[in-house]
Amino acid sequence: MAGPLLVIGSVNYDLIFRHPRLPRQGETITGAELFESCGGKGANQAAAAVRCRGALGDAAPPVLFGGAVGNDAHSAAQRRTFEEDGIDTRYLLVLDDCHTGLSVVWVEAATGDNRIMNSPGANSRLSADALAAAPIEEAGLLLIQNETPADGVRSAVERAHGAGVPVIWNPAPIDEASDPGLDPRHVDWVTPNEVECGVLLGRTGERIDAGSAADVAAELLRLGYRGAILTLGPAGVLVAKPESPPELIPAPQVDAVDTTGAGDAFNGAFAAGLLATSDSREAAAFGVRYASDSVTRHGTQTSFARW
């Protein structure tokens, strides 16, 4: 693969509340610790992809980011972070008439489990027209998620496929209403978690685990996806390709304090590793190590180490 890693996706500013337990319906709890962090699946994955590059040596790809933000303080914070990381943001739109995306995250201290609510703001403007200038056809690899409008996601994937650019699609978040209706044959790697698998297979509400992952991966491949990586939390990831048996890559044991952004850490590091090595197993193992390290710290991008 030649060319840079192009990440297209969302930018959100995260307000993260950490408490011994999550609130029940109708309940107010006080005393939570507050952490603030730049976030959004697209921005997170771009940050992870660039921060892990030190471990990839001279093969590490440059990272470009395409997205949309408001002209506000939250946007300024993310743009400073992009600049510090050395991410090319020529294709980041700054809009005066809406706010930067905002997420509120609740984290249960004992387990690291989280719940998230989001107001998309400028992310809702990242349509196919808004992405017209993005250099998709010149990329070495396109990494895209599902936190921006479906027509933009669909257009970017079709443009990449038409130009022979490999695509990683992280279908998060997804439900029947937000499914962009991609042709699976145009996606080189789909990277769902346990819940997203059920939606992709038309079985919303079904949650897979390590025991059922191989069968689920086989179903995804039969739909036409060229490769599937199922992210299974502390169990690791399952890598499935049509030409070889599925393989579970276990995650190292760590003391998790906050799992927020772990999936984004994996996807960013996997994409960078795949572009650097062209070895999907090696890239997936690299992504697992990077994501596992991230859950030992608080926040989203604040938890991503510079390797």
Taking a C-beta distance cutoff of 8 angstroms, is the pair 221, 260 a contact?
no
Sheet with 101-108, strands from edge to edge, namely 33-39, 12-19, 101-108, 114-119
| Separation of alpha carbons 235 and 24, rounded Å | 27
Encoding tokens for residue 63?
């990272």
User: DSSP class of residue 148?
Assistant: S
User: DSSP class of residue 186?
Assistant: G
Place of tokens 């650097």: 276
Which of 85, 258, 264, 293 is catalytic? The answer is 264
Taking a C-beta distance cutoff of 8 angstroms, is the pair 49, 283 a contact?
no
Encoding tokens for residue 87?
């991410």
Q: Which residues, including other chains, have CB under 8 Å from residue 24's CB and lie 6 or more apart?
A: none
| Separation of alpha carbons 124 and 143, rounded Å | 18
Give DSSP secondary structure letters for 204-269. TT----TTTHHHHHHHHHHHT-S-EEEE-GGG-EEEEETTEEEEEEPPPP---S--TTHHHHHHHH
Residue 264 catalytic? yes
- Calculate the CA dihedral of residues 256, 258, 261, 264 and round it to 10 degrees: 0
CA angle 226, 45, 272 (to 5 degrees): 60
| Separation of alpha carbons 54 and 66, rounded Å | 23
Query: Which residues form the catalytic set?
Result: 264
